[in-house]
Amino acid sequence: MNDMSQAVFFNALSYAITGTRSYSQKAVSFLEAFFLEKNTAMTPNVNFGQIVRGVGPEHRVGTFTGVLDMRGMIKVSNAILALKAAKSPDWDAQKDAAMKLWLRQYLGWLESSPIAKKTASSAKYVSSRDRGCLRLRAGYTVTMRPSSMPNSLR
């Protein structure tokens, strides 16, 4: 996730700055492969993230730290914003709608999964998780003014 989000982010920024289409194409190809293509897309959950192998049912699901691996989603959403702002011909309305659907599904999992709730119950991790939720909930943009946000999210 981290390498992919970095690649998408920097290719999108490079396109926005230079207008060189190959950067846009590369960013979109990563997004398609990781989130949109039926045969390669990640499921919108981290049920098996940071799994600890062993005997018993508790060793057949991921751990709460798998949620932390998804922190790159903020870079992904910022990259999409950059592609849209730069009017990339490679990021069209159909891809945007499909990505927003994926994000809504992931956010639903993030708000309801016992694994994600365990992350939220840890004060050490709640701030980055909630910031991510704000970005995902708003469909790539944070619409809350800092003065209206809880102190833990500023």
Q: Residue 84: its pLDDT value, please?
A: 93
Condensed to tens digits (0 to 9), the pLDDT of residues 32-77 reads: 999 999 999 888 777 666 666 665 566 566 666 667 777 788 889 8
Q: Residue 73: its pLDDT value, please?
A: 83
Q: What is the mean pLDDT of residues 132-149?
A: 48
Full DSSP string of 48-100: TTT----SSGGGSS--THHHHGGGGHHHHHHHHHHHHHTT-TTS-HHHHHHHH
Condensed to tens digits (0 to 9), the pLDDT of residues 118-131 reads: 666 565 555 555 55
Residue 133 near residue 110 (C-beta atoms within 8 A)? yes
Q: Residue 54: its pLDDT value, please?
A: 61
Q: Residue 49: its pLDDT value, please?
A: 64
User: Taking the domain 2-153, which CATH number applies?
Assistant: 1.50.10.100
Per the model's pLDDT, the better-predicted residue between 26 and 109 turns out to be 26
Q: Where in the chain are the domains?
A: 2-153
Q: Residue 58: its pLDDT value, please?
A: 61
Q: What angle do CA 91, 44, 143 make, to 5 degrees?
A: 60
Condensed to tens digits (0 to 9), the pLDDT of residues 76-110 reads: 988 999 999 999 999 999 999 999 888 888 888 87
